[in-house]
């Protein structure tokens, strides 16, 4: 084991450089963010335009990158200059907690010009998502096994396309990127690309505007592995679907691997063209279910270890018993615990854990789906769910449909167009009309207002 304390000695010059960076950061972020995420960072070294800073763990890099990418780039060019580079260093604990260190360097930012000059394609794959840190559980067994098989032989298994679906925060993005990481590790020459369907759409729209649709299309047709996350966002985007259809065919015919994720199975992707839905079912479809208690414990143990903290079993158990639906929240809870403990120099004890869990549960943004809204509303009015999607003009069907549309607009971020698609492909003006009718009804009719309020509560509780 090597002692890295010498490597971590900091000169005044390095400190000054980092201080200049901090000044810009401080002026641009809220105090709580600054204290939680930037104060714990320590400058290590500055030489040859490269500033090395030490962060407590990978999550800091992730978090900062996700929320403050633009700011950091600005800081780099202002303080470190055009050729400046910021390198994050993570000091990992070894067998003996915090005694011996191993330094992992993560080169975080390079000026844009350098990136395009050096690399051919940017995979957009996050190196954090690996199979090694993906905990196996009953809920993800098939999806995980298939992902591993694919990463061993991309394009050569019958799992093509490979379609993973499941609720939010259950590990879809992690798994499909783990496939990408593994393939790149084994065959660095393979052209692997990951992007969300929204990102894909935005690029497509740009390509239309700049008259480069052909280039755009051949770029993706040229990939060995195409990974598209959250494919449900292609709903209602016919032109993008068309183009994606052609890319899909070209890749599939030439034995290239296609990996997709979605919040629901292909057949439930209402508003996606049938030819796409049928192709999505050609290969393997696997779901991911929420983790059971044992898996949650294993995930918490594993994550706290990667944070370099050892938590008492009773604390792990308390979190696992109280946060059930989603792995992102388990992780969020640990990060929050870590942040408040380090901020107040407090021990992580059961009291702090209880408080944190409670805060997470009350701040929780509820995630509701149009399907769930429809189900709850139809149940209440004893209307068959299919009827609200058909052209049925019976009074109770119309009212259930309009209230479901109204609540979909209120409780989800879906566009009018998407909502219309979920209700039998109705047009967005129908959704506006429904919204206005219900809105008027609610302001004139106390009974209806109470009914809709209680439906709303039910939906939000069901989603929580
Ligand atoms: P989704 O894409 O399904 O919404 P993500 O893949 O983003 O979910 O997962 C949410 C968070 O939970 C990520 O940080 C991911 O690393 C973590 N995670 C999910 N499943 C697992 C697992 N089985 N083991 C370890 N971490 C997991
Ligand atoms: Mg995801």
Q: pLDDT, tens digit, for every residue of 345-361?
A: 778 899 999 999 988 87
> In angstroms, rounded to a whole number, what is the distance separating the alpha carbons of residues 304 and 284?
34
Which uninterrupted H or E stretch holds 165?
A: strand 162-166
Cβ of 345: how many Cβ atoms within 10 Å?
6
Average pLDDT, integer, range 107-134: 65
Q: Is 297 in the pocket of ligand 1 (CB under 6 A)?
A: no
Question: Could you tell me the pLDDT band of residue 63, with boundaries at 50, 70 and 90?
Answer: confident
Q: Is 323 in the pocket of ligand 1 (CB under 6 A)?
A: no
Q: Is 292 in the pocket of ligand 1 (CB under 6 A)?
A: no
Question: 161: cis peptide before it, omega within 30°?
Answer: yes
pLDDT at 269 over 50: yes
The pLDDT of residue 464 is: 40
Which protein residue's CA is at the shortest distance from atom 23 of ligand 1?
A: 135
pLDDT digits (tens, 9 = 90+) for 429-444: 999 999 999 998 888 8
> For residue 286, which phi and psi values (nearest 5 degrees)?
-135, 140
Which protein residue's CA is at the shortest distance from atom 20 of ligand 1?
A: 171
Average pLDDT, integer, range 167-181: 96
Scored b (16 or more CB within 10 A) or e, 30-43 reads eeebeebbbebbbb
322 class by beta-carbon count within 10 Å (0-12 exposed, 13-18 middle, 19+ buried): middle
> How many A from CA of 59 to the centre of ligand 1?
13
Q: Which of 111-115, 332-336, 371-375 has the highest mean pLDDT?
A: 371-375
The pLDDT of residue 363 is: 61
Question: Could you tell me the pLDDT band of residue 4, with boundaries at 50, 70 and 90?
Answer: very low
What would you report as the CA-atom Rg of the chain, rounded to the nearest whole angstrom? 25
Task: State the DSSP string of 190-204.
Answer: S-EEEEEHHHHHHHH
Higher pLDDT, 218 or 83: 218
> In angstroms, rounded to a whole number, what is the distance separating the alpha carbons of residues 37 and 35?
6
Q: What is the dihedral angle through the alpha carbons of 141, 143, 148, 153, rounded to the nearest 10 degrees?
A: 140
Which protein residue's CA is at the shortest distance from atom 5 of ligand 1?
A: 171
> How many A from CA of 196 to the centre of ligand 2?
9
> How many A from CA of 181 to the centre of ligand 1?
15
Helix-helix angle 428-444:446-463, to 10 degrees: 120
The domains of the chain, with CATH numbers, are: 5-109 (3.30.300.180), 131-288 (3.40.50.300), 293-363 (1.10.8.60), 370-460 (1.10.1750.10)
């Amino acid at each position: 084991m090597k002692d890295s304390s010498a490597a971590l000695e900091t000169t005044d010059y390095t400190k000054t450089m980092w201080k200049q960076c901090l000044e810009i950061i401080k002026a641009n972020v809220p105090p709580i963010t600054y204290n939680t995420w930037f104060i714990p960072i320590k400058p290590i070294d500055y030489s040859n335009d490269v500033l090395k800073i030490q962060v407590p763990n990978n999550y800091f890099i992730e978090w900062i990158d996700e929320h403050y990418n633009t700011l950091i780039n600005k800081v780099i060019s202002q303080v470190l200059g055009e050729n400046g580079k910021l390198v994050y260093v993570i000091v990992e604990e070894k067998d003996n907690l915090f005694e011996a260190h191993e330094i992992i360097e993560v080169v975080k930012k390079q000026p844009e010009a350098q990136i395009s000059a050096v690399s051919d394609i940017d995979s957009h794959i996050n190196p954090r998502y690996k199979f090694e840190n993906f905990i196996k559980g009953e809920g993800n067994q098939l999806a995980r096994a298939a992902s591993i098989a694919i990463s061993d032989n991309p394009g050569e298994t019958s799992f093509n396309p490979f379609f993973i679906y499941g609720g939010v925060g259950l590990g879809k993005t992690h798994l499909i990127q783990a496939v990408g990481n593994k393939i790149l590790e084994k065959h660095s020459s393979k052209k692997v690309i990951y992007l969300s369907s929204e990102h894909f759409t935005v690029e497509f729209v740009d390509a239309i505007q700049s008259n480069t649709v052909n280039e755009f299309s051949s770029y993706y047709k040229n990939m060995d592995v195409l990974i598209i996350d959250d494919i449900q966002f292609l709903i209602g985007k016919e032109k993008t679907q068309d183009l994606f259809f052609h890319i899909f065919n070209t890749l599939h015919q030439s034995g290239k691997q296609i990996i997709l994720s979605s919040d629901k199975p292909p057949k439930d992707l209402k508003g996606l063209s049938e030819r796409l839905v049928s192709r999505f079912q050609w290969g393997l479809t696997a779901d991911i279910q929420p983790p059971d208690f044992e898996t949650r414990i294993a995930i918490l143990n594993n994550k706290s270890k990667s944070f370099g903290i050892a938590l008492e079993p009773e604390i792990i158990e308390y979190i696992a018993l109280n946060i059930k639906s989603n792995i992102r929240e388990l992780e969020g809870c640990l990060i929050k615990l870590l942040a408040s403990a380090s901020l107040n120099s407090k021990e992580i004890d059961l009291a702090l854990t209880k408080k944190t869990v409670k805060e997470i549960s009350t701040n929780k943004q509820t995630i509701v789906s149009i399907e769930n809204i429809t189900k709850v509303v139809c149940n209440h009015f004893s209307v068959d769910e299919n009827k609200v999607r058909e052209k049925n003009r019976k009074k109770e069907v119309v009212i259930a449909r309009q209230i479901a549309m109204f609540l979909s607009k209120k409780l989800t971020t879906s566009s009018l167009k998407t909502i219309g698609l979920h209700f039998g492909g109705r047009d967005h003006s129908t959704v506006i009309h429904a919204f206005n009718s219900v809105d008027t009804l609610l302001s004139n009719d106390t009974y209806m207002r109470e009914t809709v309020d209680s439906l709303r509560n039910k939906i939000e509780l069901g989603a929580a």
